[in-house]
Amino acid sequence: MTQTAGTRRRRPEPAAFLRSRRARVTPADVGMPPGLRRRTPGLRREEVAHPAVVYNARYDVLATNPAYLDLFDTPAVRSTGLRNTLWALFTRDEAECPVRFRETELPMMVAQLRQAYGSHAGEPAREDFVRELSAASPYFARLWRSGNVVKPGPRVKTFRHRKVGEIRMTSVSLSIDGMPECRIVAYTPAGEESSARTTALRAQRQD
């Protein structure tokens, strides 16, 4: 997939972007307990260590943190980075797909893509994106032709990692003021076992 000049200009430096949004998001927004009284609004640094990503409506990755990239432990992402989540998921063999239960999760993502597509039908950039990904992935093409639509919402997703095994994460999608059709998706571990595995990944990254 080619990255347009417009996409490059809109892509902020990830750490700075996520820091600028941290004060605007409360723990309750991303499914975390409120904890003790806070001196400053927003999420603490250790809470931002949970996986988080900023998408536009095409699933272009505009900003992310290392914890989110930990979940996409594939050869392609390790070598070239993660530019678009749909391309990363649909153009890999099923055995390399980091998302478990892809027969459920991938149709949901395509339905969200189509939901946002309605107001942009006919725009060259949108049509090129759909045509190129359809050519690269017959599975995406079939799901796109189904015409299903759905809005983003909270979900429990299961990722598989070659080092620590399966990780269940609760995702919460939030709109971003001043960035139409963009959203920040925050992930929190669903259970103690998944929490321990994400902690292990963070420790390995910091070694």
Cα atoms in the Cβ-side hemisphere of radius 13 Å centred on 17? 20
Q: What is the pLDDT of residues 39-48, one digit of tens each?
A: 544 445 544 5
Buried b (16+ CB within 10 A) or exposed e, 167-188: bbbbbbbeebeebeebbbbbbb
Domain that includes residue 40, residue range:
5-206
* Model confidence at 38: pLDDT above 60: no
pLDDT band at 202, cuts 50/70/90? confident
Rounded to whole angstroms, the Cα distance separating 22 from 11 reads 18
Rounded to whole angstroms, the Cα distance separating 154 from 165 reads 23
At 106 the pLDDT is: 94
pTM here is 0.74
Domains of the chain: total? 1
Q: Which residues pair with 187 in a beta bridge?
A: 171
* Model confidence at 188: pLDDT above 70: yes
Mean pLDDT of 100-110: 91
Range with the poorest average pLDDT among 37-51, 73-87, 184-198: 37-51
Q: Name the residue with higher pLDDT: 64 or 38.
A: 64
- The residues, any chain, with a CB within 8 Å of residue 135's CB and separated by 6 or more, are 141
Q: Dihedral of CA 145/103/180/151: which sign?
A: positive
pLDDT band at 122, cuts 50/70/90? confident
* Model confidence at 35: pLDDT above 70: no
* Model confidence at 28: pLDDT above 60: no
Q: Name the residue with higher pLDDT: 74 or 164.
A: 164
Q: Name the residue with higher pLDDT: 31 or 173.
A: 173
At 81 the pLDDT is: 75
pLDDT band at 16, cuts 50/70/90? low
Q: Report residue 51 CA to chain centroid gap.
A: 9
* Model confidence at 89: pLDDT above 50: yes
CATH number at residue 30: 3.30.450.180
Cα atoms in the Cβ-side hemisphere of radius 13 Å centred on 176? 22
pLDDT, mean over the chain: 79
Percent of the chain with pLDDT over 90: 30
Q: Which of 64, 58, 70, 40 is nearest to 2 (CA)?
A: 58
